[in-house]
Amino acid sequence: MRFNKYLRLIVAVLVSSFIMMMINYEIITVTTRDLIFKELTGLPVSDICLIPGTPKYLPGGGVNRYYQNRIISAIELYKSKKVSRILISGDTLNKYRENEVELMKNDLMDKGISDTVLICDRNGISTMNSIRNLNKFKGEKFIIVSQKFHLERALYISGRNKTEALGYIADGSPGFRLKIRELLARLKMQAELMLY
């Protein structure tokens, strides 16, 4: 009987925790909805495009489509004159031993973007760091380029950071494992924001 009681308690705690995580997830989605644009039409002109870092290469080989699409979307913004500069923020030695900043910089330059409009933030080891580092650019307006699920978290942090930012969606939808990872990332984000 005592075992069943403890089991029910554990199940209740797990279910409650999952519900709270889902509520947190949806709150972030809803509060950032009006800040995210899928098309260039209607997207206001800003100063700087922020590309958050992500690994270029997949563990099994091949190029990460999230990486490719962020580069493509940043170039679209620049060539359409929605921004005048591009800020590359990433890790200089990620878990795959990549220098995300240099990889993105080189790929942008290979596609015709002048290095004179590129700004490098080599301390973008996380989304939280990338957004907080925007405090160095006083009075500037930003457009963050990333996949929609990631933009929601980045823009939520921007709001808490008092940073004026919008989001432009780069193609790419998360699979099941990435959805779970994002669920946990949003929980971790809230903990970090409370401690900041």
Q: What pLDDT, on a 0 to 100 scale, did the predictor assign at position 1?
A: 58
**Mean pLDDT in each 10-residue stretch from start to end of the chain (196 residues)?**
73 82 93 97 97 94 95 98 98 93 98 97 96 95 98 97 97 91 94 88
Query: CB neighbours (10 Å) of residue 43?
Result: 18
Q: How many residues does the chain have?
A: 196
For the whole model, what pTM was predicted? 0.91
Residue 167 contacts residue 151 (beta carbons within 8 Å) = yes
The domain 2-195 is classified under which CATH number: 3.40.190.80, 3.30.465.10, 3.40.50.9100, 3.40.50.620?
A: 3.40.50.620
Residue 152 contacts residue 29 (beta carbons within 8 Å) = yes
Q: What pLDDT, on a 0 to 100 scale, did the predictor assign at position 169?
A: 98
> In which residue are the tokens 């989605």 written?
29
Where on the phi/psi map is residue 46: left (φ > 0), alpha (ψ -120 to 50), or beta? beta
Cα 148 to the chain's mean position, in Å?
8
Closest CA to 52 of 148, 126, 118, 160: 126
Query: Hey, which residues does 142 pair with through a beta bridge?
Result: 48, 165
Q: What pLDDT, on a 0 to 100 scale, did the predictor assign at position 12?
A: 77
Residue 154 contacts residue 146 (beta carbons within 8 Å) = yes
Q: What pLDDT, on a 0 to 100 scale, did the predictor assign at position 5?
A: 73
Q: What pLDDT, on a 0 to 100 scale, did the predictor assign at position 15?
A: 81
Query: Hey, what are 98's tokens?
Result: 């990549």
Q: What pLDDT, on a 0 to 100 scale, did the predictor assign at position 196?
A: 72
Residue 157 contacts residue 193 (beta carbons within 8 Å) = yes
Closest CA to 142 of 113, 121, 125, 111: 121
Q: CA 179, CA 16: separation in Å to the nearest integer?
A: 19
Q: What pLDDT, on a 0 to 100 scale, did the predictor assign at position 25?
A: 92
Q: Which residues, 6+ apart, have CB-to-CB distance to 4 below 8 Å?
A: none
Q: Which residues, 6+ apart, have CB-to-CB distance to 156 below 8 Å?
A: 28, 31, 32, 189
